[in-house]
Structure 1
């Protein structure tokens, strides 16, 4: 089984990268003949060769583990729970969440599930939920918050533009990584009301944006944010490799002042955490 699976995985990831056998051989410092033998199953790779090839192809750590298993080796990269990450990592995440105040920041898993959020995210997003009680009844992800009519959708200005931008980005991630979790998220997102089937696929003619801007409006309260994603550099842990910190920065002075006012309002109740997600700021 291993002799058949690893060659298929190697060829699959090389095809996704757009590299020829010669290109990969040069990048991984291996002979093109040996690489050809590995892809056809005529040669069995060593553990170090698997790691070298997967690194040259920039394969995500989770899938590098899959390649090792397919070649008959044990996994190399651990997958610790968020709370089990090194103290220094947890401290860094906690500091970033706190430094972002009074503006929102969320910590996202690879499938956009919200694992952590700062107090500002509780205060701000809590103002734009149609049915806040539903937040405690389901695992939260960023696509549900924007696409679900029972959550944030009614309050997103130019909702179709924001939704299409998010779905096109997700589709490109699915295409680039082949991650089944992202593919499942894409299928689920496409089933929300008013999501058009054409949004599943990138449109090269569509207007592109360097950043995602989101405007939220409810009554007299209007807030505009630019979002950015931050990733950890060269992690050796699967979870950390996939972790993303999404930061929200005010687009105008009115949003900045409103966030500062919300931060000082002691009457605002925090969001209820999702049942199976570790929500809220890190300790």
Structure 2
């Protein structure tokens, strides 16, 4: 006997309304009858495990949210939720290690979807040490990359064109939160950024009229030297556990010869 599934109808309706669909819309997308959708939402019918997974796929939910929907229906989770340390399958852990090594002498960081830094390569560690020298001591593993942009010393002395960079970061999080409205960690991150004293009130509302830039160039200042990095993002295709679904690998490539030479010289120091 499965546990009480009284929560499932509310979860189902939440995601349907969040998508802006009627019950008929959901039925058409999921290839089930509108009558069955109605019965599931009212609790008159109990979903099978396969039906819950089908609905989660139809809503294009994250694997974490699909697990939550399964639990709401009284089933065990379908996707493992391992921790980052020791939780990666060995071949993928080795792949990340190789990517980190091959990226040298340029930075690479592994982040979660809330921009917490999980791992850095040696180049990123050197840059953190260089630019965080005048801030409170903190290890790369205790950093949040976006929050770091709003740290007073970084904002005033390290980031070139802080307002543009900060606004792009907030706009990016607004868009991600629209796609993942139940991500409490991402919502809390956004609220903490919007509470920053230098954030204008108009940034509080998402501005979707401006398209995302096809490339992101990150500019830093070290003394009289300006560094520019082109950022690329890698995610795992068709992940089968929550950890792989949520981690992001950010690689930073020199945007000009001066930046390339600076990173090479820093590695040799």
**TM-score normalised by L of structure 1:** 0.86
Match of 2:221, SS state, is strand
After superposing the two structures, state which structure 1 stretch, 22-31 or 256-265, moved more. Answer: 22-31
Matched ranges for 1:89-104 at <5 A: 89-104=92-107
Q: Is 1:119 matched up with 2:118?
A: no
Q: Which residue of 2 aligns with 1:184?
A: 188
Superposition RMSD on alpha carbons, in Å? 2.1
SS at match of 1:134: coil
Question: Which is bigger in relative contact order (C-alpha 8 A, separation at least 6)?
Answer: 1
Instruction: Identify if the C-alpha distance between structure 1 residues 208 and 78 changes in structure 2 by more than 3 Å, giving closer, same or farther.
Output: closer
Whether the 8 Å contact between 2:49 and 2:75 is mirrored in structure 1 is yes
Equivalent positions of 1:41-190 (< 5 A) are 41-82=43-84, 83-129=86-132, 131-136=134-139, 139-151=142-154, 154-178=157-181, 179-190=183-194
1:168–1:200 Cα contact (<8 Å) kept: no
**Cα 1:136/1:151, change in 2 over 3 Å:** farther
2:223 matched residue in structure 1 = 219
Contact 1:25 1:32 survives alignment (8 Å): yes
- The aligned residue for residue 202 of structure 1 is 206
Q: Does the 8 A contact of 2:120 with 2:140 survive in 1?
A: no
Residue of structure 2 aligned with 1:253, choices 244, 257, 260: 257
Segments of structure 2 that go 5 or more residues without pairing to the other structure are none
Question: Contact (CA 8 Å) 1:223, 1:255: kept in 2 or not?
Answer: yes
The residue number in structure 2 matching 1:269 is: none
User: In the TM superposition, what whole-angstrom CA distance separates every residue of 1:101-158 from its partner, at most 9, and x where no partner exists?
Assistant: 1111110012110000001101223322253443249921111221111446521111
Structure 1 segments unaligned to the other structure (5+ residues): 266-283
In 2: Cα distance, 1:132 partner to 1:90 partner: 31
Instruction: Report if the CA contact (8 A) 1:144-1:151 is conserved.
Output: no
